[in-house]
């Protein structure tokens, strides 16, 4: 129990559920204090704010998919998943530390699988991402400054291995030179495997 008054989550990222659905849970005492903005309160509809969130069409297939993903998450064990993601992040950052032209942002021991790479020598993260997809079948995230305007001062590349990434995939982390602009790029997994975007 986290003791929060409200909690929300998307169904994707480490939950591995479908896009377009999520969950919102609010402590009952707080929910009773919520006041609607749309439709206006003076419409006096006999619905609570939470009930209004449930009106209209719903993507039932996505909700079922999210339910299945939650079940699998709980069956596997949230603690085991967090530990595995931290292990993968540690291995990824260790493998990418010192790669020419890039700086690993997160500390090696950061308990997350996400690894952010900042270009040092003018490499274009967007071009590198495109190159990795086209030439190695590896999916990373090109993160523009708009994604985190108070943290990012320039675009970055993010690598986020899945919880089911195998040790041999991480052992295959290596550097590769290529891309149309001749910049050094990071090969974050074996060809045919992906380091999926979760940044």
The CATH T-level fold of domain 87-187 is: 3.90.1150
Question: Which residues have a Cβ under 8 Å from the Cβ of 158 and sit 6 or more positions away?
Answer: 114, 115, 116, 117, 140, 141, 143, 197, 198, 199
Return the ∠ at Cα 160 (arms to 155 and 165), rounded to 5°: 160
Residue spans of the domains in the chain: they are 6-76, 87-187
pLDDT of residue 79: 93
pLDDT of residue 177: 27
pLDDT of residue 90: 92
Total length of the chain: 199
Q: What is the mean pLDDT of each run of 10 residues along the chain (199 residues)?
A: 83 83 89 78 77 78 93 92 92 83 90 90 85 78 83 87 73 41 40 38
CA 26 to chain centre: 23
């Amino acid at each position: 129990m986290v003791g929060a008054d409200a909690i929300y989550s998307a169904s994707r990222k480490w939950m591995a559920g479908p896009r377009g659905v999520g969950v919102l849970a609010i402590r009952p005492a707080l929910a009773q204090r919520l006041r609607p903005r749309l439709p206006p309160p003076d419409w006096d509809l006999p619905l609570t704010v939470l009930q209004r969130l449930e009106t209209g069409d719903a993507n039932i297939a996505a909700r079922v998919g999210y339910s299945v993903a939650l079940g699998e998450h709980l069956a596997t064990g949230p603690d085991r998943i967090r530990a595995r993601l931290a292990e993968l992040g540690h291995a990824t950052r260790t493998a990418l530390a010192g790669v020419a032209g890039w700086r690993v942002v997160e500390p090696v021991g950061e308990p997350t699988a996400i690894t952010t790479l900042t270009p040092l020598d003018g490499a274009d993260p967007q071009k590198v991402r495109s190159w990795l997809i086209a030439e190695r079948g590896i999916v990373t995230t090109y993160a523009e400054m708009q994604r985190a305007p108070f943290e990012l001062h320039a675009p970055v590349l993010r690598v986020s291995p899945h919880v089911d990434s195998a040790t041999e995939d991480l052992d295959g982390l290596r550097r590769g030179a290529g891309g149309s602009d001749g910049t050094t790029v990071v090969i974050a997994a074996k060809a045919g495997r992906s380091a999926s975007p979760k940044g």
